[in-house]
Amino acid sequence: FSVSLHTPGADYPNNQTAAVPIPIDLTSAQPSVATVPAQITVSTGTRTATATLTATGAGTTTVTASGVDLVPATSGTITVQQP
């Protein structure tokens, strides 16, 4: 999955790029269902970062992305079949 930047109030809020690297903390609500890396980084000059979600068991979970001076965002429900 990927995390994208959005800058409310900007002339082009969905087309902004990072001026410096931006660390993004990731958490899975149910690590027994799926795990994610603890942190990813949006690199300078880009607007997205990609992470791998690893299935660990059947069930549902969500993933939350957060960071310093960032508004946390939570995914929709992720359903994992038997891995």
pLDDT truncated to tens, each residue of the chain (83 aa)? Answer: 777 777 666 666 667 788 899 999 999 999 999 999 999 999 999 988 999 999 999 999 999 999 998 889 999 999 999 86
Half-sphere exposure at residue 6, Cβ-oriented, CA atoms within 13 angstroms = 6
- Report the predicted TM-score, pTM, of the whole model to 2 decimal places: 0.85
- Give the count of beta carbons closer than 10 Å to the beta carbon of residue 65: 23
Cβ-in-10-Å burial (0-12, 13-18, 19+) of 3 comes to buried
Give the C-alpha distances (Å, rounded to integers) separating 50 from 9, 10, 26, 72: 25, 24, 11, 17
**Ramachandran assignment for 38, one of left (phi > 0), alpha (psi -120 to 50 degrees), beta (any other):** alpha
The H or E element that residue 65 is part of is strand 63-66
